[in-house]
């Protein structure tokens, strides 16, 4: 309807990204997916979760910036979206503060949830517990 | 006609525009309307109906408590009655009360917009409300609910009453609330009249803005919580029930992450109403406009950081409890800013003793008590003593009923001429305010005493030493009911034989007074342009005197 | 934020002669930006809706790291999850291209890209179906229905509750997305969308990308645990 002289903007004056950008972002996403998949086979131990989350965050940022157009959108929409992450962090943070610290201040009264499931005597039993999964791979008969 | 707006056609010569009430006729035109005013009226009728249902349940509870032991009903029925009262009042009355009824009608009018941003979504939100309400009624039919309105696990995952229909009802009502919130936020951001900058918005709009923020941010969490509760009941997934390896305190975290902010969904719109009423009926510009506006948003924000104060004795860690207690006191700061600003607004004003102003006085008195007793409960050591006693019951009734409900009634009286085009009988209105004030205090102040002496909440029977106080409280609830009936009579009488209201009976300056009473279908005959602040009354601004005619 | 109010000059503003222009807005630009803000707020709602399940995940992983590790490693198929990730990412790029086709007013491209997006969504669901039926077959089910014969440490029935809740809720969102995409395809084919009116495409696009975003986090959290 509206004649648009500038190919970078549509009839409402919003930015139009070149097709090439979308495919480049897609390629980057594939690379990161491959990376996170490959890394999952490397035994990184406690570092594996932060690495996986870092990669996921980079991927999410790419999707938000280019596919969801946050780069060219009104700044306020970015604030709106980031605020949801903030309040999610509040929810996680305070709840974990409680769950993780129930036994901290008063170890007798506040016998922690974590300790209930993971008795303090763990060091002695740690080795069998580690080995158990491998041994149990064959379905236990009669269960 | 002094107003913050200037248009070429004033309200008087817009006679050829039909009012929203008469523009279209027939039931179908109401049920399929996308007009925010009609949707607001439908909400108003629905929430008043549920207020009546919840109120009857409350009266039955109070009557049962007249004597220890059985008066009217068995203990199992009593458990269902107080649950019904709580759940209906919270989910079907007080959460949607001011925003979805009064707010829906006045918000676009105050902004100088033709409608909310998404009119169809507004109607959808009403129907979500209806579906949720039907599910609640279904709950009563299917065997009732006896968990209390809080649905605490593991009782709610094991009781034989109809938890699933009730929680699913609350789930659906949650989406009604979210849709209203999204609609209001977008309307406020995108649909303000030309010239209406953020510092010229009426304080009611600021309050609704803060309310909507909470609705959008907190409600989804209760939605997923209730789904998880349903899954726990159906599949035994083991998240909340300790018998299945879950953590019941975790349920309370999930629940109060929503339900604490939502108490600000209940009270913030009340603050907004009071800000309008106090300034219009005192004929004086609001004291501390920006302070009140920003404190609404501040309350909404801090409200997200304090939910753990509901769980001080529930097994929460001492560290978390300390942090939550500390943060709880922070809420008192913006709240006190508001109360002091309202009082300072009245100081030196020219107060008109109208019914809405009577309700403002009632609000200030009751809300201050409710707010201050909240500090007792936020203090760790005191809460250990007071938790789950009548002290808590009295506290939240002072805030919810003495605050929100009183503001709702005051606002209803204030905007009644605008909604219906009819005036009401001031003497009857004032009588209702006085009776409500007396009845309320007799009912609930007694409960502070009961609670501090150790009477636990939700109990069917009690020790003989509490008998007199329970009797006084029950008698108070009858006086309160009488006051509310007088208000009802006032409204019915006004509808039947009230004299015709002018466009601006209170000489308000906000835009809703700039269109006819009742407003025309598209709100304004011509797009209003905002040129002044919302409370720049001509009496106090000599330079505006020339604009009056 | 309030710059979208043009007090005067309506009929000549771009898009105001569109049949989809709603009378309570002043300009089409205002209508489009209101719709988009509404969608972003809806996405905020979605994020917090999912946050409840992620909270469940965090707590469970904190309390039962061994269960999670074992169950994920032995009973979830990384390759299936990986295929689904690629499929969903691809559908995201075709969705974005469909929105772009709306912006430039290319009807043929809109329909084609939407169709590819729908096909990808269906492939995603098919892979999920294969994974689910495998778990049903083994009895690796939530809560009371758990009957897996293997001896998994900790609380495996809760792990599968978590797995089914997270992927199930995500799957429901995929299904809702397919319905919205089918509706869009009908409207695109009719030629509703052009440079001044493509809000439904854009909003559904935003929703679809959020569904993708959730999966971007679910994949490493559920399938790639070490």
B243 versus A113: the higher-pLDDT residue is B243
Nearest CA among A28, A90, A133, B253 for reference residue C225: A133
Chain C adjacent subunits, 3+ CB pairs under 8 A: A, B
Contact A105 B318 (CB under 8 A): yes
Q: Which of A76, A91, A110 is the closest to B317 by Cβ?
A: A110
Contact A94 B318 (CB under 8 A): no
Contact C224 A40 (CB under 8 A): yes
What's the rounded mean pLDDT across residues B214-228?
Answer: 96
What's the rounded mean pLDDT across residues C38-61?
Answer: 96
Nearest CA among C72, C39, C47 for reference residue C214: C47
* B248 to chain A: closest CA residue: A113
Interface test with A, best of C40, C157, C201 (most A CBs within 10 A): C40
Q: Is the pLDDT of residue B264 over 80?
A: yes
Interface test with B, best of C55, C141, C160 (most B CBs within 10 A): C55
Q: What is the pLDDT of residues B80-116, one digit of tens each?
A: 999 999 999 999 999 999 999 999 999 999 999 999 9
Which domains are present in chain C?
Answer: 51-223 (1.20.120.80)
What's the rounded mean pLDDT across residues C98-119?
Answer: 96
For residue B67, give every residue at least 6 positions away whose Cβ sits within 8 Å of its Cβ, in sequence order, or none. Answer: B467, B470
Q: How confident is the model at residue B544 (pLDDT cuts 50, 70, 90)?
A: very low
Q: Residue B209 in contact with residue B184, Cβ under 8 Å? A: yes
What was the pLDDT predicted at B1?
37
For residue A35, give every residue at least 6 positions away whose Cβ sits within 8 Å of its Cβ, in sequence order, or none. Answer: A55
Q: Which of residues 111-150 of B touch C (CB under 8 A)?
A: 113-115, 117-119, 121
Q: Which of A87, A94, A102 is the closest to B308 by Cβ?
A: A94
Q: How far is B167 from chain A (nearest CA, A)?
A: 21
What's the rounded mean pLDDT across residues B119-132?
Answer: 97
A111 versus B223: the higher-pLDDT residue is B223
Tokens of B118: 């998404």
Q: How confident is the model at residue B153 (pLDDT cuts 50, 70, 90)?
A: confident
Tokens of B373: 């007793």
- DSSP run (H or E) holding A131: helix A122-135
What was the pLDDT predicted at C4?
38
Q: Torsion angle, CA of C10/C12/C14/C19, rounded to 10 degrees? A: 70
Q: Which of C14, C86, C220 is the closest to A56 by Cβ?
A: C220
Interchain contact B247–C (C-beta under 8 A): yes
Interchain contact B294–C (C-beta under 8 A): no
Tokens of B28: 């179908």
Q: What is the pLDDT of residues C67-96, one digit of tens each?
A: 888 888 888 999 999 999 999 999 999 999
Tokens of B254: 């999930």
Q: What is the pLDDT of residues C166-179, one digit of tens each?
A: 999 999 999 999 99
Share of residues in chain B with pLDDT > 70 (%):
95
* A132 to chain C: closest CA residue: C153
Q: Is the pLDDT of residue A107 over 90?
A: no
Structural domain boundaries in chain A = 1-73, 74-122
Contact A56 C217 (CB under 8 A): yes
Contact B221 C51 (CB under 8 A): yes
Tokens of B529: 């342009």
Q: Is the pLDDT of residue A95 over 70?
A: yes
Interchain contact C44–B (C-beta under 8 A): yes
* φ/ψ of residue B122, rounded to 5: -60, -45
Q: Is the pLDDT of residue B15 over 60?
A: no
Q: Write out the E strands in A42-111.
A: none
Q: Which of residues 148-207 of C touch B (CB under 8 A)?
A: 155, 157-158, 161-162, 165
What was the pLDDT predicted at C10?
59
Contact A17 C100 (CB under 8 A): yes
B439 versus C224: the higher-pLDDT residue is B439
Which domains are present in chain B?
Answer: 36-535 (1.20.210.10)
Share of residues in chain C with pLDDT > 90 (%):
72
What residues of C are in contact with residue A19 (Cβ under 8 Å)?
Answer: 97, 100
What was the pLDDT predicted at A5?
54
Interface test with A, best of C39, C64, C103 (most A CBs within 10 A): C103
Nearest CA among B112, B147, B106 for reference residue B417: B106
């Amino acid at each position: 309807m509206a004649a648009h002289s500038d190919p970078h903007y549509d009839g409402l004056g919003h930015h139009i990204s070149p097709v090439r950008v979308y495919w480049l972002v897609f390629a980057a996403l594939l690379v990161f997916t491959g990376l996170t998949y490959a890394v999952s086979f490397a035994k990184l131990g406690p570092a594996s979760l932060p690495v996986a989350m870092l990669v996921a965050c980079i991927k999410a940022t790419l999707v938000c910036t280019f596919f969801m157009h946050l780069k060219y959108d009104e700044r306020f929409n970015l604030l709106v979206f980031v605020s949801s992450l903030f309040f999610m962090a509040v929810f996680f943070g305070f709840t974990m503060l409680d769950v993780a610290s129930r036994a901290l201040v008063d170890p007798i009264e506040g016998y922690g949830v974590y300790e209930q499931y993971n008795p303090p005597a763990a060091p002695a039993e740690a080795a069998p517990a580690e080995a158990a999964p491998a041994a149990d791979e064959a379905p236990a008969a009669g269960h | 006609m002094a107003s913050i707006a200037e248009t070429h056609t004033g309200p008087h010569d817009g006679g050829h525009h039909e009012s929203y009430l008469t523009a279209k006729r027939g039931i179908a035109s109401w049920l399929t309307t996308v007009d925010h005013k009609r949707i607001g009226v439908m909400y108003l009728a629905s929430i008043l109906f549920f207020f009546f249902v919840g109120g009857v349940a409350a009266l039955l509870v109070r009557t049962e408590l007249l004597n220890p032991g059985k008066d009217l009903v068995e203990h199992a029925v009593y458990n269902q009655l107080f649950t019904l009262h709580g759940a209906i009042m919270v989910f079907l009355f007080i959460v949607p009360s001011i925003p979805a009824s009064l707010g829906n009608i006045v918000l676009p009018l105050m902004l100088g917009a033709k409608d909310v941003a998404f009119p169809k979504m507004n109607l959808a939100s009403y129907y979500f409300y209806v579906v949720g309400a039907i599910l609640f009624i279904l709950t009563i039919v299917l065997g009732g609910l006896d968990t209390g309105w809080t649905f605490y696990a593991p009782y709610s995952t094991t009781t034989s009453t109809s938890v699933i229909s009730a929680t699913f009802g609350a789930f659906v009502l949650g989406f009604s609330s979210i849709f209203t919130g999204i609609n209001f936020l977008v309307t406020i951001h995108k649909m303000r009249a030309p010239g209406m900058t953020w510092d010229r918005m009426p304080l009611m709009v600021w309050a609704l803005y803060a309310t909507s923020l909470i609705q959008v941010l907190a409600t989804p969490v209760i939605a997923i919580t209730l789904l998880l509760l349903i899954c726990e009941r159906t599949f035994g997934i083991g998240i909340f029930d300790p018998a299945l390896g879950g953590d019941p305190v975790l349920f309370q975290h999930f629940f109060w992450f929503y339900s604490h902010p939502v108490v600000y969904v209940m009270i913030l719109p009340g603050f907004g109403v009071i800000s309008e009423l106090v300034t219009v009926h005192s004929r004086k510009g609001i004291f501390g406009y920006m302070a009140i506006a920003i404190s609404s948003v501040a309350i909404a924000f801090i409200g997200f950081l304090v939910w753990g104060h509901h769980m001080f004795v529930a097994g929460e860690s001492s560290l978390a409890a300390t942090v939550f207690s500390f943060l709880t006191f922070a809420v008192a700061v913006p709240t006190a800013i508001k109360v002091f600003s309202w009082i300072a607004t009245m100081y030196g004003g020219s107060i008109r003793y109208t019914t809405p102003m009577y309700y403002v006085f009632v609000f200030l008195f009751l809300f201050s008590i409710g707010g201050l007793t909240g500090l007792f409960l936020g203090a760790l050591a005191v809460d250990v003593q007071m938790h789950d006693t009548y002290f808590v019951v009295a506290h939240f009734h002072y805030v919810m009923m003495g605050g929100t409900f009183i503001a709702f009634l005051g606002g209803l009286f204030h905007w009644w001429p605008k909604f219906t085009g009819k005036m009401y009988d001031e003497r009857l209105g004032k009588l209702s305010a006085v009776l409500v004030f007396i009845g309320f205090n007799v009912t609930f102040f007694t409960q502070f005493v009961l609670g501090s002496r150790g009477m636990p909440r939700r109990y069917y029977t009690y020790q003989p030493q509490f008998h007199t106080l329970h009797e006084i409280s029950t008698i108070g609830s009858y006086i309160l009911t009488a006051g509310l009936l007088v208000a009802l009579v006032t409204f019915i009488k006004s509808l039947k034989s009230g004299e015709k209201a002018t466009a601006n009976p209170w000489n308000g300056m906000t835009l809703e007074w700039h269109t006819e009473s009742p407003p025309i279908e598209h709100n304004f005959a011509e797009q209003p342009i905002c040129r002044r602040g919302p409370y720049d009354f001509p009496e106090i601004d000599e330079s505006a005197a020339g604009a009056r005619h | 934020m309030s710059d979208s109010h043009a007090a005067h000059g309506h009929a000549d503003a771009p898009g105001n002669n569109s049949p989809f222009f709603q009378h309570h807005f002043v300009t089409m630009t205002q209508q489009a930006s209101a719709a988009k803000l509404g969608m972003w707020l809806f996405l905020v709602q979605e994020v917090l809706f999912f946050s409840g399940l992620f909270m469940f995940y965090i707590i469970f992983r904190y309390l039962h790291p061994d269960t999670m590790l074992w169950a994920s490693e032995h009973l979830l198929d990384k390759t299936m999850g990986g295929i689904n990730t690629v499929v969903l990412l691809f559908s995201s790029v075709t969705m974005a291209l469909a929105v772009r086709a709306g912006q430039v007013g290319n009807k043929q491209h809109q329909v084609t890209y939407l169709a590819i997006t729908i096909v990808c969504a269906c492939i995603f669901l098919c892979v999920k179906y294969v994974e689910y039926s495998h778990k049903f077959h083994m009895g690796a089910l939530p809560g009371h229905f758990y009957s897996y014969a293997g001896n998994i440490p900790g609380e495996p029935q809760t792990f599968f509750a978590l797995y089914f809740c997270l992927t199930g809720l995500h799957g429901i969102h995929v299904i809702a997305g397919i319905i919205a995409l089918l509706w869009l395809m009908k409207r695109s084919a009719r030629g509703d969308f052009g440079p001044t009116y493509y809000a439904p495409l854009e909003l559904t696009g935003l929703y679809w990308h959020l569904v993708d975003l959730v999966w971007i986090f679910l994949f490493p959290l559920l399938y790639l645990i070490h």
